[in-house]
Chains A and B, each alone.
Chain A
């Protein structure tokens, strides 16, 4: 058990719909990362938050948005869903602090999104 909790584990929805994925990081971790993993691609970085603020942005579509709340949990919102958005969405947290690289990401079990 990594200590990172993601909900829901599975989600089936239709094209055009909107879903919200939730992530609770390990206790004390300030950084949260979101990754997308589909069958034909590896782990694709979407976005990172550090203590409530956006820190880095990857290949995140405009239809997707995320935020990190004061209690450090994070939500990834996916809207106007398309078939190609079907994937595993992982959240990870780290103890990274300014100037100190712990080098380790703790991943949740993922949320499997299926768009029909």
Chain B
């Protein structure tokens, strides 16, 4: 069964304090690993797709990387508006088109 875990569960940063979020996964043949951002009371919003180990994607202050067992979401010089829950999801080759989500990391960036 495909599984996704994320750490830490919650993270508080000062504005400008860079850090990384971790997503560890087990999947029967990875089709893709996805990062989403979710604001309170809203639906998740797509950030990145990573397909193979070694791949990296960047968007503003966010950079996602992928290895064979985990992915990192690096946040450089975060701002308060980056506060949100960040969700990681995987799609395996043996489970139809389902996306399995991790529990998320709740990020708070303090001014």
Contacts and interface: CB of A to CB of B under 8 A. Distances in A.
Of the four ranges (under 10, 10 to 19, 20 to 34, 35 or more), the interface on chain B belongs to 20 to 34
Interface stretch (B17-25, B63-71, B92-100): B92-100
B111 interface: no
A8 interface: no
Contacts, number: 65
A84 B47 CA distance: 31
B43 interface: yes
A105 B44 contact: yes
Given A50-B97, A88-B41, A104-B46, 12 more contacts: A2-B45, A41-B103, A43-B87, A56-B96, A56-B98, A103-B49, A104-B49, A105-B46, A107-B44, A107-B45, A109-B43, A110-B42
